[in-house]
Chains A and B, each alone.
Chain A
């Protein structure tokens, strides 16, 4: 009999006796399912956050802040004018710079699910904001009007706080504002914010300074000259960043933390599962000792027997990984998670992503567990001399 034929028949014999060892086999299936479920869901959180963060900002825009970030922004109207005179800014048809001087506030709203206070970032934006950020698409209602106390609510905010539907009132300083529409922004972190007219918001807050200025660059190469102009006067303490780099810098620590946690948890579980698989396959080899040694006594090669053990482990692990991956996909794909992230002062809501690469990763890990666990057990199965094994019957 050819080597392949041998492997096939031994494996089939093994699989036929599988139902008798169902309890033992289920340990591998369930163990691997748990590993894949946990790994995939933890990675889904990390990837979901990274995806939202990566989509935020583009290299063709630049943001000016004083200090490290927008939080303690302090840019006067005169300074905004000076910033907009810097070289490298794209102009619209009327030769006006495409830019938005922005102001940040919070509004405390009651979360209808928990009845507790939840903060949402309210961002006052300039009139050019839709030219500046073409990714903003209004999905319901309409944009806020200049000079009207109206707000556009991000899709992520709506997912978290259903009370902010079109037409609802939001209590702000100096009176209520009305939600005029809902916007999507390509799945980026802006969707966790609410936007309105900056000048009106400044007035309502009785403030005179902006938190940041974002400009469209005429060309992505223009950034160097733009930054040189902005940072030429160190007394002002202004810093210019490419928009994508600015957000990457803010999100990198969290993003790498989430990834590290997912890898740590997944790695630990996989490590434990390798030993569980090994243990199970040892037991299988032990209970089948008589059968295996009989096969070897009648001329089946050690290699064929060993391969059949590995194949059995592999099949069980694959069954488990498909179970775990399906469960993860059903429960987590598209589900939204809200978390504190340090990127924005309020909560960030982002969708989890369980994609094909992640599912393949899960299946790959499962195969690794099975191959390592199975081959060690197989080595043992074939090391026992036939005579000794037969006597064990």
Chain B
């Protein structure tokens, strides 16, 4: 049977090759665009309802001491704070996110960041230390214990360049995206800060709450504390924040979906036509097969098997090309996604691609296969093809 399908597929090699190229290109587009879409979806996924983000309501950075008051709000179980800075190593394209925080509390609030106890203690005892993501180590060729210069948006107060000692590695297990991040001590940053009005100020305070169902009330209680201060706060659950981030790029997502739709529709027309044409040209062949005892069912299998094989081959080539090309595309996504994460290709995209190939087969082969099945031997043999 498979032999019959295989030889049937290559009956007109030029046509099959051309169809395969079109299919592969379509699946490459499908893979890349769906990869982008699933990366946008992933923004929501790492976000949690039991974590509240406390941001400046009007762009005035929050005093670090706010964290002590927030810790006393009922329902709050852990508090940390951070200043997140864009930084780069030697060249602008070697960019990373530098999170300056109090590491002990940060790692307890963000427990999806994994770091060994020994390396965490090393960071606590090394003022100028950093934990870095494995991606960065690989890309920059850093070693444990190495002292690295980083370029921040501003120099140190003494005019010296910022430098950090790598004391360990930190891995984010909660999110499939690779964020090139480094975690360092806020105190080290704070003492070198050249701008007096930013001293002891943080960009964001993050808390864990015991019960996410009460997070709205807890958020209100926190915001009430600072409503009349110099820097009012705005508290929202991390999950709500992620939703508004994805809403901000919803226009782009709609566009990528529309393109996927257009690609799918045009490729469906192409395949349907190829199958129809093939079946029509082979009418007498199917008649012969039937007359030597092939059942109607096996004719259906022959037609749809051939179509499926072609779609799967095209999908395989296109999706392998996606695997190779997606990392190149992904690098540019942070510029439009509003988050610094560089997404990896989600394997569900590959699965969805194969499923699409099956769907294409079903839609394009159903009618021709039905016709081939219903063929009367006498009629079929009368046709000269």
Contact = CB atoms under 8 A, between A and B. Distances in A.
Genuine A/B complex: yes
A45 B249 CA distance: 13
A24 interface: yes
Contacts of B118: none
Given A116-B243, A118-B248, A271-B25, A72 B154 contact: yes
Interface stretch (B2-10, B119-127, B256-264): B256-264
Contact of A206 (B153, B230, B273): B230
A80 interface: no
B65 interface: no
Question: Contact residue range for chain B?
Answer: 35 or more
A272 B153 contact: no
Interface stretch (B66-74, B168-176, B332-340): B332-340
- Interface SS majority for chain B: helix
B59 A275 contact: no
Contacts, number: 149
Given A68-B153, A209-B197, A265 B249 contact: no
Contact of B336 (A209, A254, A275, A276): A254
B277 A173 contact: no
B275 to A, nearest CB: 11
Interface stretch (A103-111, A143-151, A178-186, A187-195): A103-111
B249 A340 contact: yes
B60 interface: yes
B128 interface: no
Interface in A110-127: 111, 114, 116-118
B247 A41 contact: no
Contact of A41 (B197, B232, B258, B277): B258
A105 B57 CA distance: 9
Interface of B: 14-15, 18-19, 21-22, 25-26, 28-29, 33, 57-60, 153-154, 195, 197-198, 230, 232, 234, 236, 240-241, 243-244, 247-252, 255, 258-259, 262-263, 265-267, 269-270, 273-274, 276-277, 332, 335-338
Given A41-B255, A279-B15, A342 B243 contact: no
25 contacts: A24-B273, A24-B277, A34-B263, A34-B266, A35-B266, A45-B255, A67-B154, A72-B153, A72-B154, A105-B60, A106-B59, A111-B244, A117-B240, A173-B58, A207-B60, A237-B154, A260-B332, A269-B29, A272-B22, A272-B29, A275-B21, A282-B15, A337-B251, A337-B252, A338-B248
Contacts of A42: 255, 259
Interface centre among B26, B247, B252 (most CB of A within 10 A): B247
B335 A254 contact: yes
Nearest to B33: A265
Contacts of B266: 30-31, 33-35, 273, 276
A23 interface: yes
A206 B60 contact: yes
A282 B14 contact: yes
Interface in A275-310: 275-276, 278-280, 282-283, 287
A268 B29 contact: yes
A105 B197 CA distance: 16
B59 A205 contact: yes
A105 B250 CA distance: 24
A279 B18 contact: yes
A74 interface: yes
A339 interface: yes
A282 B18 contact: yes
B249 A272 contact: no
B263 A340 contact: no
Contacts of B26: 272
A276 B335 contact: no
Sorted nearest first, the 5 A-B pairs with minimum C-beta distance are: A272-B25, A34-B266, A340-B338, A279-B18, A116-B244
Contacts of A275: 18-19, 21-22, 25
